[in-house]
Amino acid sequence: MSSLRNAVNRRVHRERDQLQDRKTRYGLLEKHKDYRLRAQDHNRKKAQLKSLRKKAEDRNEDEFYFGMLSRSGPATTLSSGSKRWDGTVAGDRGNKALDTSVVRLMKTQDVGYVRAMRNVATKEVRALEERVVALGADADADGAAEDDEEEGEDDDGMDFDFGDDDISGKKNKNKKPAPRKTVFADAEDEREDQIQRDAEQDDDDDDDGVEGGDGKKGDPEERRARQKRKLLEKLRRRLLGARKKQSALARAEHELEVQRAGMAKTATIGGVTKAGKKFKVRGRKK
């Protein structure tokens, strides 16, 4: 009976199709078998990404293989045609990669230049410190406190009369200074003389503002003290800039030395990987 029943043509039972209006509005309706295929593909890709993340976390920083030489990534002979072991990459512009020894020599020259500039900056810092000390100030201390103390002493010795002279002095003080001509000095002495003349000119302007309409000149001792304070303030600003430059050059020299040591044929130093893992160079067994 079963053979006779199977011999009869039967109706093929198909899943009912969606309505034409819904198909036009929302597109094809996803069947369960389609969902299963899509879910399996998604889970397979998710597991692959998880394994790749684990591999990236545990990778060795010094790992290398020749597939890294191509921008298109590792490939087989069938997909890429033929492997190239000459160090060129896909889409190369013709620039040849320098040898490690050549790069190390170039970094040696860079270190020499940075060291020379650092020595120049060190000499400049030493000269500025000597000039600041010669003016009777501390080269390591901040000049703001000393200036405040000196100004406080000068204020105690002065008697203020809030009259017409004070008003005229404020007007002259708020007035914008006239533009000055920029002078380029080649020698150190010429530059210092120019700084001294600028300080004297500023003091003359201040004297005119304080005295107001009077034609009398200020006290010479007080004028020299103001000139000294202005010159000291300029020297301290220059000293601060020279010290920053010296520290920046020292850091650059240290970084270049570390790079040169890391490029040596035999590892001579330890370090820290990008992931923050510290490593040390093991000594030779004795």
**Separation between Cα atoms, residue 185 and residue 230, nearest integer Å:** 20
272 DSSP β-pair partners: 278
Joined tokens for residue 232: 């000291």
N- to C-terminal Cα separation, the chain: 90
Region 180-205 average pLDDT: 61
pLDDT at residue 190, rounded to an integer: 66
pLDDT at residue 63, rounded to an integer: 74
**Separation between Cα atoms, residue 132 and residue 142, nearest integer Å:** 12
pLDDT band of residue 124 (cuts 50, 70, 90) is very high
| 13-58 confidence digits (pLDDT tens) | 777 777 788 888 888 778 888 899 999 999 999 999 999 999 888 8
Tell me which amino acid residue 172 is.
N
CA neighbor of 86 nearest in space, from 100, 62, 103, 69: 69
Indicate the pTM of the whole model. 0.41
Name the one residue in this structure whose structure tokens are 């990534």: 73
Contacts of 257 (CB under 8 A, 6+ apart): 111
Contact criterion met (CB below 8 Å) for 209 and 173: yes
Region 201-205 average pLDDT: 61
Question: Torsions phi, psi of 265, nearest 5?
Answer: -65, -40
Region 241-267 average pLDDT: 84
pLDDT at residue 117, rounded to an integer: 92
The secondary structure element, H or E, covering residue 272 is strand 271-272
**51 exposed, middle or buried (CB, 10 Å; 0-12, 13-18, 19+)?**
exposed
Specify the length of the chain in residues.
286
Radius of gyration of the chain (CA): 40
